[in-house]
Chain A
Amino acid sequence: MKHSVFAFEICAKFEPGGRLHTELRKLVTEAEANPSLQAKWRFYKRAIDELQVAVPLFERGCWDYFDNDARARADYDQWVAGMVTEEGARQQPSGDDPYRGSARYLTWTMAFLMIEGSHTDLAVRRLCDFPDSRLWHRDTFQKILWGLGVLNFASIKSDVSYLIPRDVGWGLTVEDLAQPKFQYLRPLL
């Protein structure tokens, strides 16, 4: 069994009490421990629906797809490590009144370890076929979101999703995003 990986992360303006954070937080904190395939699909459908509405808020992002088995597994592990080590999350609050200070940001990350050669893998591969010149365009991210309905969890071996921050008052700051660890998040055109 060989694998492929698809990962998608966006960094968006964090509007405390705004719909994007409220809905993503609700989604991720109330996620089922043992979901069915259909429930899994619904989970990401809801996430994607919210993200599509919030595309204008996207400031940075990253996505990638690899169909090399070793690379896919290693890459997926890295995305998981981003959650487990809490590397991108703040360890201290950044304040709960962003309107009086600098902007705050949130990130949403989702990654899928797929069965290489499955219908889902092939569909995602086609979905990610963009010319290099378009890789970091906001509308590319939007098109990917539109196309993610092709995900069939019968052939997805593992998935990870996480939201930074969970709580208002813990949003990422401009200074946070300037750190080297966030360089993989490319400014969107």
Chain B
Amino acid sequence: MSNSPNEPYSRDRQVDKPGIAGARWWHDSLADQAAQIARRDAIRNILIAGAVIAGFGAMLTMCIKSAATGSSGTPGTPGTPGTPAPLPDDYASIRRTSLEMQKAYGWSFGAIGEPLVFDGVTTKPFQPGALRSLATDLAPTQRSLKRYFQQTLFDSPDAVPSALSKLDPDEATGFQPLAGSVQPIFTPAMDAAYGRGKSLASLFASLREKKLTPASAKAALIVDLPGPEAVAFAAGAASVFDPVFLFDNWPHPRGVVRAQETLSAAAYYQPLFAEARRKVGADEARPAMFVLDRRRLTAYTDDAAQFDNRYVAKLPLSAAEMRALGADHVLYVLPPHTGAQVELDDLNDELVTYAAGGVDVKALELDTFAVDPTGAAAAGARTNESDQLVADSGFVYYGGTRGSHHAFFVDYPWAKPARPATTRPASNSGKTFTPVARTTPYSGGGTAARSVTKTTPTSFGTVPVVIAVGTGIIIGSRFSRSGSWNRASGSSWGGG
């Protein structure tokens, strides 16, 4: 009779007949406790008998201590790593959506005072006050794209909890807004992604040389890279593509998705995004660039040590929606050396649906773009936007050479290349990528009409909280370090 903490009762008898209907339920953990007590008593009795016979008083003490601390391995006993202490009678543990809890009780819900972890902290001057305009500076400019923009992450720095005062005081004391904890980061991986974004943008910008526009290729990007690199790539490409960020979570000190790094990267590149917005008109058609944090589905295993701030991508649901955005082609951008070139599970339904609806879906591993050491010497005067973008990228080219750069629109024949290519990339399996339907915890495996609510595993993106049973009022996080319900007594297990 084991159940999740959220479902502590099990129905073991049921009658459903015309003359009578009813059922009996058992409270699993209490029933288990009774069994534990019976076992403990049995062990104690055996030991006492042994002690009387052999006179090993010291051994008796040790064995009783062993039994009393749950050394039999019975699940749910305090002292087992990751296992919480039993709750008092008046409390119960249930699961609530992580983001809702953070919005109500603060970004650091259950972990107030614990530091955020950042990789790649930089000494670049940084103005926390500018974070307030992130959601504005990083919003898409085209009206048709605004409905897809998820500004959740960008709202987090100065968010004011709506119900913090309703928590147990131990749970609320010391709360500080997230803005004070954000540090700018810059990593080599971000730098490389930025250059590759510039380089890809240069190819679309080159279409102007043929009296076309970047939108003429009728392509949209889905950039699916680790958060900081995704932001960096988008920053590099933002002068040509209209970014649509889909970061639908908040940072947390124990967050399984390190959203704080994505937020910091956004802060780092914020001036570039703001500059790009200033240079383009709101009505200027630019290809859409959906930007995802590839870590959004990171494995989550431990309620006590981790906070489940995962989420699923919310892309346009159909081929018709994509076409309405001017995209007959979709380019799925993957991290370097991804190998398998299989999209993440939560994108499978959409990519398959796009393809079934006639939208051409292809993939691109970012290592297909690489620096050509001879590029700087060979490049001529930077007479146009495309050449300037290549120079700004650090002379990163499609195929890794200047001669192969314009083979991009040969491999992805969505527009006539602006310039000839003298060579082709050695390999690029992305150009033949075709999404294949598969059933996963995040996808249905077909192309039927999609619901806005996606398939997710049980308890996905939720956090255990403690409530007062009588009222249902939330008291705090189940795994808060400060909650009185987690202050276990080593000798009180089993209810004895």
Interface of A with B (CB < 8 Å)? 1, 25, 28-29, 31-38, 40-41, 80, 83-84, 86, 88-91, 93, 109, 115, 118-120, 149-150, 152-167, 169-170
Contact = CB atoms under 8 A, between A and B. Distances in A.
The listed residue with most A CB atoms (<10 A of its CB), out of B10, B25, B92, B496, is B25
B20 A83 contact: yes
Given A36-B94, A38-B94, A159-B25, A1 B33 contact: yes
Contacts of B6: 36
Given A1-B496, A38-B467, A162-B20, 5 more contacts: A84-B13, A153-B469, A154-B90, A157-B31, A165-B18
Interface string B1-21: 001001111110101111111
B51 interface: no
B339 interface: no
Given A1-B33, A1-B496, A163 B27 contact: no
Nearest to A84: B13
Contacts of B19: 86, 89-91, 164-167, 170
B20 A165 contact: yes
Contacts of A154: 27, 87-92, 469
18 contacts: A31-B23, A37-B9, A83-B20, A83-B23, A86-B17, A93-B18, A115-B495, A119-B90, A152-B470, A153-B92, A154-B27, A157-B26, A157-B30, A162-B21, A163-B21, A163-B22, A169-B18, A170-B18
B37 interface: yes
B24 to A, nearest CB: 4
Interface of B: 3, 6-11, 13, 15-27, 30-31, 33-34, 37, 87-92, 94, 467, 469-470, 472, 495-496
Contacts of B87: 154
A165 B198 CA distance: 74
A1 B496 CA distance: 7
B15 A86 contact: yes
B297 to A, nearest CB: 27
A29 B16 contact: yes
Contact of B89 (A1, A109, A155): A155
Contacts of B88: 154
Q: Please classify the interface of chain A as helix (H, G, I), strand (E, B), loop, or mixed, using the class held by over half of its residues.
A: mixed
Instruction: Give the most central of A25, A34, A93, A155: most B CB within 10 Å.
Output: A34
Nearest to B28: A34
Contact of A33 (B10, B15, B90, B92): B10
A16 B472 CA distance: 35
Nearest to A160: B24
A62 to B, nearest CB: 16
A152 B89 contact: yes
B494 to A, nearest CB: 9
B93 to A, nearest CB: 9
A80 B22 CA distance: 10
Contacts of B24: 80, 83, 158-160
Most chain-A CB neighbours within 10 Å: which of B21, B22, B24?
B22
B25 A35 contact: yes
Contact of A152 (B8, B33, B90): B90
B18 A153 contact: no
A166 to B, nearest CB: 4
B13 A80 contact: yes
Contacts of A32: 11
B485 to A, nearest CB: 12
Contacts of A163: 20-22
B90 A166 contact: no
A181 B15 CA distance: 20
Given A34-B9, A35-B7, A28 B21 contact: yes
A115 to B, nearest CB: 7
Nearest to B86: A154
B20 A1 contact: no
B18 A34 contact: no
Contacts of A1: 30, 33-34, 37, 495-496
Contacts of B11: 31-34
A90 B304 CA distance: 52
Nearest to B495: A1
Contacts of B3: 34
Nearest to A169: B18
B25 A28 contact: no
A41 B468 CA distance: 12
Contacts of A37: 8-9, 92, 94, 469
A59 to B, nearest CB: 19
A118 B89 contact: yes
Nearest to B92: A37
B492 to A, nearest CB: 13
Given A115-B30, A157-B26, A84 B89 contact: no
A165 B18 CA distance: 6
Contact of A36 (B89, B91, B92, B495): B92
Q: Which of B7, B23, B31 has the most CB of A within 10 A?
A: B23
B89 A161 contact: no
Contacts of B472: 38
A34 B496 CA distance: 26
Nearest to A42: B472
A120 B23 contact: no
B27 A160 contact: no
A35 B9 contact: yes
